[in-house]
Structure 1
């Protein structure tokens, strides 16, 4: 066979040879083989050449000209097996071996090796009818090792072909993987490789383990290479995972908490999913209960196991007691929605802070491009956006700040949270609220933007990071601060257009008559509750318009008075004295609810894996310990959810054993 790697292997060899030091060097293929087959010793000013211990004479002596040692091309090339020629018209001498031709041009330092040009360390010379070439350049282009000692020069090279190969792919599975052997063999002299021999080569390895695969190659002159070996690691085929779990006991009382311990294993530690069924945290009817665990690995192999526990007639906790004690924070449990109304409501007052809030929610459904809101504000401002795209094509929403002053102004952005774009309204509102609460807790550094007089810039870049597709909902909160009066415009535009350039051509979107658009100035509320909570069941009602009255404001685009229906965008804070062993839970009264609360500095989602779907569900927000606690609660009512909501304070049952 002829090696397809001959040409590029020689180029690699040539590049490697050019890195030789001025005194000596090793060729890449000789390093790989570990030995040289040929050795030539030369003496300055002498025709004597000793090749592999046998003496012969060169046409001209080894001659030093301007510090460069020269030798007749014909004399040295013949020892390497090259055929030498001369072209009188081009004044070029050639040396050819196999498919490789080297060209030396008289009185030039340029040497051509095939199509590659090499700069020699001296110009090619003519002496007494012989073409003289620099010895070091010859060593470089033939991949020879050159060493100098006194007046002696030694060249070493290999005339054997060099076996080389790679194995693909890197991961080989016994009985499954088709193995490919990539040919990387070459000949240092450019001869064709015509034959090969393998040991332990297999296309498919039937059993796992380590295999040493060895190759020899033969050139067109019949010479064999030294062996070249690669160790191949063959892995066992992927085995299905093994599903297994235990419980802390085999017999339980009604309402007794069950601990499940997943002990499933996989030969590659690659279990990607675990699916339980029947693994209730507790059971409330006696009898045998079946629990199943199914595990799946990364290649889709599965295993399952079913075990049983027995529930006795003895009652430890009722369902209601168990849920109050053990439902994880951020998860929900079932309650009787009607019974919540029997819990006494806690009266409260509130203190409002002079905080500004912009609610851009009308039109809630966009039908055309334009300006959704426009107002001039200064200081700290909280923005709330909540909209559905019905324009029929992708759009972006931008917040554009314009400096209307005669001096430079600064605008800063800090806490931010967005949800969507998504087709689900509750998902957008929940994610935006949760991420905004997380941002408030982390207290990000303010990012400042400088505006020259009359200059407009896009700020709050999270708003337009992803285009909003048709029929998708997008919701967001963002905090802004300014040092001067700034004009803010909420722009809805095709993503291909520049919102700053398009500002003057856009008109304000008309209100939809149902939703809220306006600026509100007392948008932070501290709810004041003087009595301690939790000594008996109590509820605090939020977003009901009666006790939690709605904010009044102004639509900056029209000057119309506006009522903040639902008080969405208002930031609430409560600092409560709570009794020992009290459950704080949230119950949705107006329909579904999904949001987040900051409880003592920790963000609690409502809920982690779902939402409150109706008034018969409650989410656990917090539990106090065995002594009274001061509990701090911060929240904003989530867009896309229904109001009112009731925050419940319920004494927990005593723990039993």
Structure 2
């Protein structure tokens, strides 16, 4: 009899004292006071049957009233003696007199067990605020407690995709149906695939994983599916990429021909008188000083590439200095800046940004007498130990300027450069001023057999010869210098072909990671290769395809950090 009476009491306490408006119109703000049964709900007064109270330093509030004001669902399980709460993605189970709660299946201790007062359940306010995303403010002057329901926490997106086919032959294009979504309706702004390829060229099972990020910066959990590739061969890797070309796409190892056995093409070559000033020696910087110094005027290419080997933070800064008594106008026509970072990645990025430079980004400045201008003012000059910086600039000066590259301590000022001395070369890398920095090649391909073009080997394609002048420092004699690898030289290669022709990139001198650009394909640069790096002699990348009778112009600049020479292979198909 007593058990039945207890059940009836609990049923009653959940039927009375419901909040005004219940869940139909959720409130924005609730204001209450300790020991005062009158509560303000969005400015309207209501009287609760039980006032908020303080027990053992814990503020206790009427459960049903607060929850239903904010649209939560409250229930009572008489048999289990449990109070249940559901709001958004949160489910809570409580038991009167027990200082524990089950929140989304997890048992948690709470400060202050739920209590019954006048048949009304009271629970700790702090517990509700933490678990149901309430903002609680206390105003000491008025002793008011202000409760607001905060927006629900942003949920991460959900990654999901399907293969059009789960089982495919080698060399067949794989179609992916991306079904990712965000439960909050945020835009998915980035997708990160692992193991995804356009096609696969060996039998086996391949795991493909997708992660997505929403506009709030939240990443999904990884979603993985397995694709089965059979023994059937529809196309090999080379054939597939020639028919579905993407510039920079890795081709792996090609066994169709031996590169060094291919005939070499003899292009028509023209050069201009553009100078390139190169600061790359000492490549690894160990102390403060001047890395490069020379005067220039007119159209010039300025190039620097250095590694901080000092063991402490350094500033590596390319400077333009007007030492004349009149203003000098300067146009920065083209630029590619990268770093600080890993040596090959920095060289690759600088080459890509230089080739992809939009002429709308050209900058005009006027240097006043004595003015010092930082060429890389838009990026952080601070270089951590072991990190590399790289920059390429095409400039046009209407007067004489001094180009200097300096290295100073982290806390040095620009005025400190006046006390720096020239650093010795490392006798391996390049420092100097070189003429003929633009090289144009024209190739007519009429044959039906693969041929090759050699770039930057010092024999068929000669290295530039110049001088390390350091002309601003008395007592430093000009020394002859050779530009091994033709760093800072742009190659514009015009190609015409009678047959449909694949253009393939082959590094010969060492590991390679750079960039190129087809001027006739909208002028968009691409990475070479477009992922990873290439090993010499055994790995290749596709540059593009030339249709019969078509003329295309390829622009290429040797990237710092990679090895030359390279070969361009022209493969009829």
TM over 0.5, shorter chain: yes
1:481 counterpart = 2:399: no
Decide which moves more: 250-259 or 585-594.
Answer: 250-259
- Which of 440, 443, 453 pairs up with 1:526? 440
Pairwise mapping of residues 488-503 of structure 1 onto structure 2 (< 5 A)? 488-499=403-414, 501-503=415-417
Partner Cα distance (2:385, 2:335) in 1:
24
Structure 1 residue 257: Cα displacement: 2.9
Q: Which residue of 1 aligns with 2:464?
A: 551
Could you tell me how far apart the structure 1 residues matched to 2:310 and 2:229 are? Answer: 59
Local SS of the residue matching 1:484: strand
Give distance in 2, aligned partners of 1:525 and 1:487: 25
Which residue matches 1:79? none
Q: Which residue of 1 aligns with 2:514?
A: 595
Q: Which structure has the larger Rg?
A: 1
Partner of 2:172: 256
**Aligned counterparts, 1:212-291, within 5 A:** 241=158, 243-247=160-164, 249=165, 252-265=168-181, 267-268=183-184, 275-277=193-195, 281-285=199-203, 289-291=204-206
Per-residue deviation, 1:266: 5.7
Could you tell me the TM-score, scaled by structure 2's length? 0.68
**Over aligned residue pairs, what C-alpha RMSD do you find?**
4.4
Query: By how many angstroms is 1:304 displaced?
Result: 4.8
Which structure has the higher relative contact order (CA within 8 Å, separation 6+)? 2
Cα distance in 2 for residues equivalent to 1:536 and 1:268: 58
What are the residue-to-residue correspondences of 1:177-216 with 2, within 5 Å? none
Residue 536 of structure 2 is matched in structure 1 by 614
Q: Per the alignment, in what secondary structure is the counterpart of residue 392 of structure 1?
A: coil
1:507 is aligned, of 409, 421, 427, to 421
Bigger drift between 357-366 and 409-418 goes to 409-418
Contact 1:534–1:650, Cα closer than 8 Å, also in 2: no
Q: Distance in 1 between matches of 2:41 and 2:88?
A: 31
**Deviations for 1:60-108, whole angstroms, at most 9, x for unmatched residues?**
xxxxxxxxxxxxxxxxxxxxxxxxxxxxxxxxxxxxxxxxxxxxxxxxx
Instruction: Give 1:639 shift.
Output: 1.0
CA drift at 1:408: 2.7
1:636 counterpart residue number: 557
Distance 1:281 1:274 in 2: 18
CA contact (8 A) 2:316 2:381 kept: no
* 2:367 matched residue in structure 1: 450
Q: 1:251 to 1:234 in 2, by over 3 A?
A: closer
Q: Flag the 1:202–1:480 CA change in 2: closer, same or farther, 3 A.
A: same
How far apart in 2 are the matches of 1:481 and 1:608? 32
Cα gap change, 1:339/1:209 in structure 2, threshold over 3 Å: closer, same or farther? same
Structure 1 residues 278 and 485, CA, compared in 2 at 3 Å: closer, same or farther? closer
Deviation at 1:578, TM superposition (A): 3.0
- Aligned residue pairs total 457
Q: Structure 1 residues 414, 460: closer, same or farther in 2, change over 3 A? A: farther
The secondary structure found in structure 2 opposite 1:483 is strand
Following the alignment from structure 2 to structure 1, what is the Cα–Cα distance between the partners of residues 229 and 284? 55
Please tell me whether the aligned partners of residues 244 and 293 of structure 1 are also in contact (alpha carbons under 8 angstroms).
no
Which whole-Å CA distance do the structure 2 matches of 1:281 and 1:633 have between them? Answer: 27
For residue 290 of structure 1, report the CA deviation from its aligned partner: 3.4
SS at match of 2:295: strand
Q: Where does residue 470 of structure 1 map in the other structure?
A: 385
Which residue is 2:345 aligned to? 427
Counterparts of 1:472 and 1:355, CA distance in 2: 30
Q: Cα distance, 1:243 vs. partner?
A: 3.8
Query: Partners of 2:411 and 2:399 in 1: how far apart?
Result: 31
Q: CA distance change for structure 1 residues 474 and 511 in 2, over 3 Å: closer, same or farther?
A: same
Is contact 1:243-1:264 (8 Å) kept?
A: yes
Query: In the alignment, which of 309, 317, 320 is matched to residue 238 of structure 2?
Result: 320
Aligned to 2:99: none
Q: Judging changes above 3 Å, is the alpha-carbon distance between structure 1 residues 403 and 341 closer, same or farther for their aligned structure 2 residues?
A: same
Residues 1:204 and 1:280: Cα distance change in structure 2 (over 3 Å): farther
Question: Does the CA-based 8 Å contact 1:292-1:304 persist in structure 2?
Answer: no
**2:273 paired residue number:** 354
Closer/same/farther in 2, CA of residues 319 and 438 from structure 1, 3 Å limit:
closer
Out of 90, 108, 112, the position equivalent to 1:174 is 90
CA distance in 2, matches of 1:436, 1:421: 16
C-alpha separation between the residues in 2 aligned to 1:641 and 1:303?
34
Residues 612, 34 of structure 1: CA spacing in aligned structure 2 closer, same or farther, 3 A cutoff? same
For normalisation by structure 1, the TM-score amounts to 0.60
Instruction: Give secondary structure in 2 for the equivalent of 1:429.
Output: helix
State the alpha-carbon separation in 1 of the partners of residues 435 and 314 from structure 2: 30
Q: Are 1:536 and 2:449 matched, yes or no?
A: yes
Unpaired segments ≥5 residues, structure 1:
5-28, 36-162, 179-196, 214-218, 653-657
Q: CA deviation at 1:430?
A: 0.6
Q: Matched residues in 2 for 1:446 and 1:580: separation?
A: 43
Check the 8 A contact 1:397/1:463 in 2, yes or no: no
**Deviation of 1:2 (Å):** 9.8
Preserved CA contact (<8 Å) 1:243 1:294 = no
Equivalence for 2:100: none
Superposition deviation, residue 467 in structure 1: 0.4
Aligned residue number for residue 402 of structure 1? 321
Pairing 1:137-156 to 2, within 5 Å after superposition: none
Task: State the alpha-carbon separation in 1 of the partners of residues 159 and 437 from structure 2.
Answer: 56
CA distance in 2, matches of 1:342, 1:632: 26
Q: Secondary structure at the match of 1:321?
A: helix
Cα distance, 1:534–1:587 mapped onto 2, change above 3 Å: farther
Change in Cα spacing, 1:401 to 1:496, as seen in structure 2 (3 Å) is same
Corresponding residue of 2:59: none
Alignment of 1:80-95 (within 5 A): none
CA 1:33–1:308: 2 relative to 1, 3 Å: closer
In 2, are the aligned partners of 1:279 and 1:291 still within 8 Å (CA)? Answer: no
